[in-house]
A and B are shown apart, each in its own frame.
Chain A
Amino acid sequence: MNIKDYKELYLSGEKRPIEVIDEIFKNIESDNKSEKPLNAFISLRKEKALEEASVINDFSKPLAGIPIAVKDNINVEGELTTCGSRILSNYRAIFDAFVIKKLKDAGAIIIGKTNMDEFAMGSSNETSYFGPVRNPHDRDRVPGGSSGGSAASVISFVPISLGSDTGGSIRQPASFCGVVGVKPTYGRVSRFGLVAFASSLDQIGPFARSVEDAAIVYNVIGGHDPMDSTSLNKDHEVNIDNIKKDIKGLRVGIPKEYFTGGINEEVEKGIKKSIEVLKELEAKIVDISLPHTEYAVATYYIIAPAEASSNLARFDGIRYGVREKADTLIETYKKTRGNGFGKEVKRRIMIGTYVLSSGYYDAYYLSAQKVRTLIRDDFKKAFDNVDVIISPTSPTTAFKIGEKIDDPISMYLSDIFTISANIAGIPAMSIPIGRDSKKLPIGIQIMSKWLDEETMFRVAYNLEKNSDYK
């Protein structure tokens, strides 16, 4: 069911929002009792959601009565915001994030907070203090990460959800779970109320069951916010009619560096089939080059931990969070952070501290910022000749729980195709286009020029309409 279907239910009087919302909680509760629960939620907002649903009578708002799940690093007033971490396991937000205000104004009903990799650091949802999320298509596999709970919940419980994407954390789980996931242009959606991971890369975006629904949610949550100094003061909305236009003559770039091996055969086959679909739709396929692609993951794993080591300094157990007892202040910090953070987070804080420390700063952090310029310039040049760029979202389909958790670099490489969009700040999204022989979804990534979400959605809409994915 999509947003439109819910609206029809409500407008025809067939069902009331409170019945729909109640049913969702029943589904979640029954799944929690199953042998291998999805574990998509860290906390539920049952009482308030039902109360809000009971008083809805204006169905003209874009998301009136539509249930939505929210990643647990986005503040919803009065609710837990744990970031999937022990250190924030008792933290209740005292204000609504900008995007939450927007959702509430649009009539959406927030169902609960979704499970995630701790502080969004991970690609499999296994680093969560609250246990891994399972993939709805195969419960022994990961849903991807870090927004794994948000992706899984859209398959199983709600039509839409919010995630955050720092290096692929919306697109990669969207790909693994077979849903639509969007990372807008950096600056399109305010991060006020999002717990910061890597501030020069973080962006909030929607998950949905259809491209159109993702565009509707994007329109609701975007826009200028004086509380986020990186927020763009420009019109952000996409015209839903325009995204349904054909793509005749549109130039679609295929970067050769993304197809140089390392991609699972079935994924590659799926993407090639989509390229054929684009040709049939009379899009113009253009071979392009993004020469610095091979440096993107390395660049990311300098910049992101560096920013994280600084952003996560605020978690010391003093003003909020789980404080450990010790005799001195310094010992309190160390114990609180040592026990409060998991291994992946500690590793990244230490790496970030290392690459920022004097003597290493130039060789790591400054160099990474220079490579960032090169990667951005690659895209600038490419977009002189093409309107969008497509690639696989991830080199594989969903892998098994436990398969990569002890090998950080192999885990990092599952974001090899998504990271560049964050480094360059361009919009990018993933949509499902097929399944492999194990029936696991395959995702395609569509990237467009800075601020040109509309063309990205348009290509996605056309691919969705012409794909046989079910």
Chain B
Amino acid sequence: MITREEILKLAELSRLEIGDDIEKYQNEISKILGFVEKINELNLKDVEPTNHILDIHNVVREDLAKEPYSQDKVLSNTENKKDGFITVPKVI
């Protein structure tokens, strides 16, 4: 069973406020991890991992200057802006 502290740490690492649901997540995540652990029944010692299914490598395109999206467009999805910049709470 995953501990309360582990859930709190995961929430912290994931930058998620989870309120009073700690116990619920403990139960559900433990169950799911128990379920997925099934794969460790297999002997995987000599198996190569696959992280990408296609046999294509080093995909590059020509380094050409292109017209970017306008500043107005890019900033159109936030209300938190000033002088062409996005504003955030004070960091330091």
Q: How many residues of A contact B (CB 8 A)?
A: 69
Report if A94 contacts B (CB, 8 A).
yes
Choose among B33, B42, B77 the residue that contacts A94 (Cβ–Cβ < 8 A).
B77
| A368 nearest CB across to chain B (Å) | 6
Looking at the complex, which one of A295, A301, A346 makes contact with B42 (CB distance below 8 Å)?
A295
A327 to B90 alpha-carbon distance, docked (Å): 8
Q: Is A328 an interface residue (CB 8 A)?
A: yes
Does the CB pair B78–A318 fall under 8 Å? yes
Question: Does chain A have a CB within 8 A of B52?
Answer: yes
Tell me, rounded to whole Å, the shortest Cβ–Cβ distance linking A293 to chain B.
Answer: 12
User: Could you say which of A15-23, A170-178, A334-342 contacts chain B?
Assistant: A334-342
Nearest chain B residue, comparing its CB with the CB of A356:
B13
A92 to B28, Cβ gap below 8 A? no
The total of Cβ contacts below 8 Å across the A-B interface reads 164
Q: Contact at A343–B21, with CB atoms within 8 Å?
A: yes
Scan residues 15-49 of chain A and give those whose CB is less than 8 A from a CB of chain B: none
Contact A91 B54 (CB under 8 A): no
Complex contact A338–B44 (CB within 8 A)? no
- In contact, A349 and B16 (Cβ under 8 angstroms): yes
- Is B10 a contact of A425 with CB atoms below 8 Å? no
List A422-440 residues whose CB lies under 8 Å from chain B: 423-425
Residues on the A chain within 8 Å of B76, using CB: 92, 94
Chain B hits for A409, CB < 8 A: 31-32, 35
A187 CB contact (under 8 Å) in B49, B51, B54: B54
Contact partners of A424 in chain B: CB under 8 A: 53
Interface magnitude class on chain B:
35 or more
Check A118 for interface membership: any CB of B closer than 8 A.
no
* Cβ < 8 Å to B, chain A residues 311-343: 313, 316, 318-321, 323, 326-335, 337-339, 341, 343
On whether the beta carbons of A351 and B33 are closer than 8 Å, the reply is yes
Q: Which 7 A-B pairs have the closest CB atoms?
A: A338-B17, A425-B53, A369-B49, A320-B77, A229-B59, A370-B47, A333-B15
Instruction: Apart from A94-B73, A200-B52, A370-B48, list 10 A-B contacts with CB within 8 A.
Output: A94-B74, A292-B42, A298-B36, A299-B36, A338-B18, A367-B44, A369-B51, A370-B47, A371-B44, A423-B53
Where the two chains meet, the residues of A that have a C-beta atom closer than 8 Å to any C-beta of B are: 90-92, 94-95, 186-187, 200, 226, 229-230, 232, 292, 294-295, 298-299, 301-302, 309, 313, 316, 318-321, 323, 326-335, 337-339, 341, 343, 346-347, 349-351, 353-355, 357, 363-364, 366-374, 376, 408-409, 412, 423-425
Name B residues whose Cβ lies closer than 8 Å to a Cβ of A.
2, 6-7, 10-11, 13-19, 21, 25, 28-29, 31-33, 35-40, 42, 44, 47-54, 56, 59, 61, 69, 73-74, 76-80, 86, 88-91
